[in-house]
Amino acid sequence: MIRVLTQNIILFFTVILLQLFVFNHIQLNGLIIPYFYVLLLLLLPFDISKSMLLFVGFVLGIIIDIFSFTPGLHAAACTFAAAVRPTILEWFAPRDGYESGTLPRISYFGLAWFIKYSFVLIMAHHIFLFFLEVSTFHGFFSTLFRAIASSIFTLTLVTVSQFFIFRK
């Protein structure tokens, strides 16, 4: 139990530091911006309570906001993603539901399941974040394109991380 908690704390801080010092500085033509920190929401246990899920989402977002000087944008987007996560998990649940003790990882459910689940949650987060950032629907399609392109890039990073971090 202590080992798992320690690993999760190390993962939490590692992902946040990677986001702040590496991924926040990657912007391809201002169109593609990877938000790798969404990985932390994706990998939370299936049986986490909704209130704890929302709390973790908010705290994760506010930490990114504080260090990125984006007052409330990431907190709102992460809280939104945390709110829709249970519904997205229901959409992709196996026929018998999720077994106790399993986690949302490629090693448990396979690559196709992980990509579908991750892409929908990442898209929800990114669309919410990008439209909140511009605060208008003017330029709707360019903002939507940025969200989709960034989601695909983020999904690629998140999926690759599964093969390096979470080998079974």
- Model confidence at 125: pLDDT above 90: yes
Residue 27: per-residue pLDDT: 79
Could you report the per-residue pLDDT of 21-61, keeping only the tens digit for each?
Answer: 999 888 777 778 899 999 999 999 898 899 999 999 999 99
Domain ranges within the chain, ordered by starting residue: 2-165
| Mean of the per-residue pLDDT values of the chain | 91
Residue 101: per-residue pLDDT: 76
- Model confidence at 145: pLDDT above 70: yes
Residue 19: per-residue pLDDT: 93
Residue 31: per-residue pLDDT: 78
Residue 164: per-residue pLDDT: 83
- Model confidence at 79: pLDDT above 80: yes
- Model confidence at 166: pLDDT above 70: no
Decide: 95 and 108 in contact? Cβ < 8 Å: no
Residue 92: per-residue pLDDT: 93
Residue 163's pLDDT band (boundaries 50, 70, 90)?
Answer: confident
Q: Give the CA distances from residue 130 to residues 5, 26, 38, 133, 147, in Å, rounded to whole numbers and listed in that order.
A: 33, 16, 14, 5, 6
DSSP assignment of the chain, as one string?
-HHHHHHHHHHHHHHHHHHHHTGGG--BTTTB---GGGHHHHTS-TT--HHHHHHHHHHHHHHHHHHHT-TTHHHHHHHHHHHHHHHHHHHT--TT-PPTT--SSHHHH-HHHHHHHHHHHHHHHHHHHHHHHHTSSTTHHHHHHHHHHHHHHHHHHHHHHHHHH---
Decide: 17 and 67 in contact? Cβ < 8 Å: no
- Model confidence at 8: pLDDT above 90: no
Contacts 24+ apart (CB under 8 A), 54-60: 54/79, 54/82, 54/83, 56/82, 57/81, 57/82, 57/83, 58/82, 60/16
